[in-house]
Structure 1
Amino acid sequence: MKIQGIIFRLFILLLATSTISVKAQEDWRNIDWGEFIVRFGLSYVAPNDAGTSLKYRVLQQWDLYNSTWEIDTAQTWQISGVWRPSDRLGFELMHINSAAYDVTLDNFTGNPGSSQIQLGDFKVSTTLAFANWYFLDPSYFFRPYLGAGINYTDYHTVSISRQFDEYLMDSGMSVAPGALNMGHSWDWALQGGIDFNLDFRQFRYPLLINLAALYYLSDTDPTVNFPTELGSDRLYAHFDYNPWIINVGIGTKF
């Protein structure tokens, strides 16, 4: 009888535990996790670029003295995801992919009759994380927001131009072609934007249009490495990328 009583009590305990577990699992499934948004779009990138003259660690190369970096604007694509746990707060992860640039050195004095020389080219990919604040509730057709966060910017697919390689060798600085290196950076980012909700017929996955303006800080220390008769040497510079970006995106929420 004692053994049967113990078994009965264990059975009741297991049944109660299972019931509590099932209820807890049902409660977890019923939690309101808010809205999730995915977007894909285009980016127009206008670098607020500034670069110091290429120079040795201590001495200045005269042909490059007072030269400046010149790069154009770029167009590329971007993708983003947003989690809005509440009506006013959202967390966004965005990737802007491979904006491509050609670098020209202005105020260059090494080529008679020309004040410019092509330095090389590179691409820039940036991943950003934002905390956004929405000013209107979800019932409005448009929802403006402001966001602040951080960015990781990678300068990749870097190559030096044939013209600059020829200058290095013709001037006696190098005995063979060199290499341009750029690096990466972490820094702050800001954005402001508007989400337009085109859910006129209450589709399961409504259409969203997004317009946003971004500004973020990014700088790096490029080098030009090249072989010499005695081994190797390099030129140093500092480059501030700091772009303004206009995003146009389309997506949905669920």
Structure 2
Amino acid sequence: MKKTLCGLAVLSALVSTNVLAHQQGDIFVRAGIASVIPLDSSDRILGSTDKLAVNTNTQLGLTFDYMVTDHIGLELLAATPFEHDISTGYGSLGDVATTKQLPPTLMVEYYFNEPAAKWQPYAGLGINYTNFYDSKFNSTGHDAGLSDLNLDNSWGYAANIGVDYQVNDNWLVNASLWYADIDTTAHYSVGDTRYSTDVDINPIVFMASVGYTF
């Protein structure tokens, strides 16, 4: 009987320490595909009824996470540079330019389930900084007389929802949906005259990834 009780106690201890999901102090990294889908709008350009539009792009997405408590985590979103085509209906031009951007985003997230649950749904709020660079008109834009494109960097809020499924003690799979408030101003020249157009990009970002817990 004593041996049985001791065996049950050891088994209970092993089960209690075999936590399958996130708990305080855990660090985990996710990597996968991230698609930025702009819900864009802009002011009218050059006195016309036409606007600027920013197209979708998909890159490698990364998140770095730290569990402050069993339910509250900090997350940093990073990615390889997104490259977006910029188009306009002005003069039926279509794609006229490209820009690259990096959108580091810091989130505070709440995980709803207890640490032992394999399914870990969560929601978060945070702040986004988007750095636009290497913005330039293509041959179509240049032929239309457009030059010297520059986009202002952006600060804004961000929100996300997602779910982890813990495959084992170390590996997990994830799906998440983000929204970021990204507003910029496009500066460009036509001949010797400088123009500015406000553009609200405000993308939804979908990410599917695999993660590893340290």
Q: TM-score range by the shorter chain?
A: 0.7 to 0.9
- Alpha-carbon distance, 1:133 to partner: 0.4
Q: Would you tell me which structure has more helix in proportion to its own residues? A: 1
Write out aligned runs for 1:43-58 (5 A): 43-55=34-46
Counterpart in 2 of 1:100?
83
The number of residues matched between the two structures is 192
Alignment partners' CA distance in 1, 2:56 and 2:95 = 16
Q: Secondary structure at the match of 2:81?
A: strand
Alignment partners' CA distance in 1, 2:67 and 2:57 = 31
Question: In the alignment, does 2:135 pair up with 1:158?
Answer: yes
Alignment partners' CA distance in 2, 1:188 and 1:251 = 25
- Alpha-carbon distance, 1:70 to partner: 2.8
Counterpart in 2 of 1:246?
206
Counterpart in 1 of 2:186?
222
- Alpha-carbon distance, 1:54 to partner: 2.5
Q: What is the aligned-residue identity percentage?
A: 23
CA contact (8 A) 1:97 1:126 kept: no
CA contact (8 A) 2:108 2:125 kept: yes
- TM-score when scaled to structure 2? 0.84
Alignment partners' CA distance in 2, 1:85 and 1:117 = 48
CA contact (8 A) 1:69 1:105 kept: yes
Counterpart in 2 of 1:3?
none
Deviation string 1:229-249 (CA, Å, 9 cap, x unpaired) is: xxxx21110111100011111
Deviation string 1:150-173 (CA, Å, 9 cap, x unpaired) is: 0001111211122222222xxxxx
Large movers: runs of 4+ above 6 Å? none
- TM-score when scaled to structure 1? 0.71
Write out aligned runs for 1:86-165 (5 A): 86-106=69-89, 108-109=90-91, 115-165=92-142
- Alpha-carbon distance, 1:130 to partner: 0.5
CA contact (8 A) 1:97 1:124 kept: no
- Mark the runs of 5 or more structure 2 residues left unpaired by the alignment: 1-22
What amino acid maps onto 2:173 in structure 1?
Answer: I
- Mark the runs of 5 or more structure 1 residues left unpaired by the alignment: 1-31, 110-114, 169-176
Question: In the alignment, does 2:198 pair up with 1:207?
Answer: no
Structure label with greater radius of gyration = 1
